[in-house]
Amino acid sequence: MSAPTQARVLPVTDDPDSGPFFEAAARHELVIRFCGRCERALHLPKAFCPDCHEDAGEWRRVQGTGRVHTWTTVEHQVHPGHPTPYTVVVVQLDEHPEVRLLGSLPGRAEVRPDQAMEVWFEEVGDGVVLPQWRPTTVATTPDTATPEEDGA
Amino acid sequence: MTNHAGRESWQQDRTAIAGIGATDFSKASGRSTLTLATQASLAALKDAGIDPRDVDGIVRCDMDTVRPVALADSLGVRNLTYWGDTGPGGSGPAAMVGQAVAAIQAGMATTVVVFRSINGRSGERYGKGYADDGRAGGGSTFEEFFLPYGMQTPGQYFAAVAQRHAIEHGTPPEALGRIAMACRRHANNNPAAQMHSRTMSMEDYLGSRMLSTPLRLFDFCLETDGACAIVVTTAERARDLAQPPVLIRSVAQSSGRDAQPGLMFPALLRPTTTSWSSKPLAETLFARAGLTAADVDVAQIYDCFTITTLVQIEDYGFCEPGGAGDFIQDGTLEVGGSLPINTSGGHLSEGYIHGMNHVLEGVRQVRGTSTNQVPGAQVSLVTSAPPPGGSALLLVAA
């Protein structure tokens, strides 16, 4: 893997719809927006619930475990801040299977369908923190705490 | 419940494509997109036998750099009374034709040029993706959930779709390879195709460089400089023009539900990754036409990537959901096979004019003038693929 020749791509973190996701990530918390009335997950985050048509959304902390939905190992270099190869994973949350989030693993990662994944929080510079995903390293039961990087 | 909006009120065969025109397809046109658009439009109007000054409507793709009034100025149009655009991008061409149909049926125009002009290789290359040097996302793009993780190009998105299709259905790479090979074999008979002189074997396909697993170089289309245009008018008027009219039997657009916002990557968060809005779209399209997939003689199926075509083959009902890997055998998608597709070579081997070259080839098949003519073709399907929404056309002979 070659070294990056410029900074990696950072997200806008103060968007009115998605900002709270990244604000929570900075606290090492994984949050998803839900409709406070019908409990539907509003992800990607939006103000109004498409079922209730109410602006009653709430950000709630969710368990940081999931399963691999799909992936791709990127071999063709496009952005100089993201040297190839690397593997992008699409992870479906265990607790809310209708919610999917992306993660990235270095190199040609060995990934399997439905592989158990856990969240961790990556400091990517400029004060930005990304929720990231890696193969589950600790045996967990539904009662144990979310396996976050620093136990936050 | 599927909403077949307009199924009862849709009017078949009232409008027609009266003319088609294209520029050469190249890696470096050396011309502006306005010049390319003008050249293709003049060719389409000449083909139809219509005086360019008589054009009164223009529809463009929302990602085009040429605006309708600019093209009207370039064509010497007396007075443009209707213009519009739709998309996004490649999901738009059939819907662009649909806008022309709607404008004509509503009495807002009589003679509508629909065009796409792009310096897609020498100018802005879509394959480079959406990440630049600044912060990514925000502004209702939702790209902040994708670009920072390295999901940055259309090829990477479609690779994740292809991987999921393989997970769910065991789809082998050879099925994708046969799509690429069908396009290439058709291009080998089409002198206008950029890959006219280059053959492709399965060995060539499987040996091509992996760009984003499981997609290889030959799963990707050809970034291209060029333009395509058509002329839409009433079926009645088309009968008196230079070419045999090609009737618009039906046209449809569809978003499906729970489509997710944004342009492309958010589609990975839809309930299904391997079936798209092309599925409800096909239901509306065929219901309006009074036809089924079994009636289709030849299809131009949008192919920015091979997997794009494979998913649509299932969504349009040419095989069972998940069954494309079995359906696509040697020759299936070539002239003489059960579903001849992309008979000009498609985006994969003719050129990427963002879905408009597919409309032109769909017309040629009904006229009987394709370089890969399907004998006796009566029903010609043209698709413009998701995400986010999609659109499609069914063309028939008069």
Chain A nearest-CA distance from B160, in A, is: 5
A75:B135 CB<8 A = no
Does B283 score more than 60 pLDDT?
A: yes
Chain B nearest-CA distance from A78, in A, is: 6
**Catalytic site residue B302?**
yes
Per-residue pLDDT, averaged over B225-254, amounts to: 98
Per-residue pLDDT, averaged over A127-131, amounts to: 97
Could you tell me which residues come within 8 angstroms of residue B152 by beta carbon, excluding any fewer than 6 positions away? A9, A78, A79, A82, B129, B130, B131, B146
Decide: B112 and B57 in contact? Cβ < 8 Å.
yes
Q: Tokens at residue A22, please?
A: 């990244």
Cα angle: A131, vertex A133, A134; to 5 degrees: 145
Does the CB of A141 have a partner CB in chain B at under 8 Å? no
Residue A152's pLDDT is 36
A78:B131 CB<8 A = yes
Backbone phi, then psi, for B239, in 5-degree steps? Answer: -65, -25
Does A145 score more than 80 pLDDT?
A: no
Does the CB of A2 have a partner CB in chain B at under 8 Å? no
| B195-233: pLDDT as tens digits | 999 999 999 999 999 999 999 999 999 999 999 999 999
Torsion sign across C-alpha atoms B151, B157, B163, B168:
positive
Coil vs helix vs strand at B369: coil
Full-model pTM: 0.95
Write the DSSP assignment of A31-77 as a string of letters: EEEEETTT--B-TTT-SS-TTT----EEEEE---EEEEEEEEEE-S-
Does the CB of B343 have a partner CB in chain A at under 8 Å? no
Cα separation of B380 and B248, whole Å? Answer: 10
- The residues pairing with A14 across neighbouring beta strands, listed in sequence order, are none
Read off the pLDDT band of B3 (50, 70, 90).
low
Q: Identify the DSSP state of B8.
A: T
Write the DSSP assignment of B24-89 as a string of letters: --BS---S-HHHHHHHHHHHHHHHHT--GGG--EEEEETT-SS-HHHHHHHHT-S---EEEEE-SG
Decide: B72 and B55 in contact? Cβ < 8 Å.
yes
Q: Strand A86-93 relative to strand A100-106: parallel, antiparallel, unpaired?
A: antiparallel
Residues of A in contact with B153 (CB under 8 A): 78
Share of chain B above pLDDT 70, in %: 98
Three-state SS annotation for A82-128? CCCCEEEEEEEECCCCCCEEEEEEECCCCCCCCCEEEEEEEEEECCE
Does A148 score more than 60 pLDDT?
A: no
B146:A102 CB<8 A = yes
Could you tell me which residues come within 8 angstroms of residue B1 by beta carbon, excluding any fewer than 6 positions away? none
Cα separation of B363 and B246, whole Å? Answer: 6
Per-residue pLDDT, averaged over B374-384, amounts to: 98
Per-residue pLDDT, averaged over B257-284, amounts to: 96
Tally of CB atoms within 10 A around B202: 14
Does the CB of A100 have a partner CB in chain B at under 8 Å? yes
Decide: B260 and B318 in contact? Cβ < 8 Å.
no
Residue A4's pLDDT is 73
Catalytic hit among B126, B130, B302, B316: B302
**What is the average pLDDT score of chain B?**
96
Q: Tokens at residue B292, please?
A: 């089924």
Q: Tokens at residue B27, please?
A: 């890696």
Does A147 score more than 60 pLDDT?
A: no
Coil vs helix vs strand at B96: helix
Element (H, E) at B203: helix B202-207
Residues of B in contact with A90 (CB under 8 A): 160, 268
**What is the average pLDDT score of chain A?**
91
Nearest CA among B290, B235, B280, B281 for reference residue B382? B281
Per-residue pLDDT, averaged over B262-288, amounts to: 97
ipTM: 0.95
Cα angle: A74, vertex A33, B254; to 5 degrees: 65
- Domains by residue range for chain A, with CATH: 13-61 (no CATH), 63-138 (2.40.50)
Element (H, E) at A20: helix A19-26
Element (H, E) at B230: strand B225-234
- Range from B127-136, B197-206, B234-243, B330-339 carrying the lowest mean pLDDT: B127-136
Residue B387's pLDDT is 93
Decide: B55 and B73 in contact? Cβ < 8 Å.
no
Does the CB of B129 have a partner CB in chain A at under 8 Å? yes
Chain B nearest-CA distance from A151, in A, is: 23
- Domains by residue range for chain B, with CATH: 15-123+221-397 (3.40.47.10)
Nearest CA among B221, B265, B300 for reference residue B88? B265
Does the CB of B167 have a partner CB in chain A at under 8 Å? yes
Residue with tokens 């045999």: B244
Does B47 score more than 70 pLDDT?
A: yes
Per-residue pLDDT, averaged over B311-329, amounts to: 98
Instruction: Indicate the residue of A12, A43, A101 with minimum beta-carbon distance to B138.
Output: A12
Q: Residue A85 corresponds to which amino acid?
A: P
Per-residue pLDDT, averaged over B181-204, amounts to: 98
Q: Which residue of A has its CA nearest to B262?
A: A44
Does B14 score more than 60 pLDDT?
A: yes
| A91-111: pLDDT as tens digits | 999 999 999 999 999 999 999
Distances in Å between the Cα of B362 and the Cα atoms of A2, B151, B178, B247, B294 are 46, 34, 21, 11, 17
- The residues pairing with B252 across neighbouring beta strands, listed in sequence order, are B392
Decide: B393 and B269 in contact? Cβ < 8 Å.
no
Share of chain A above pLDDT 90, in %: 84
Does the CB of A138 have a partner CB in chain B at under 8 Å? no
B156:A88 CB<8 A = yes
Read off the pLDDT band of A140 (50, 70, 90).
low
Chain A nearest-CA distance from B223, in A, is: 15
A70:B155 CB<8 A = no
Chain B nearest-CA distance from A108, in A, is: 10
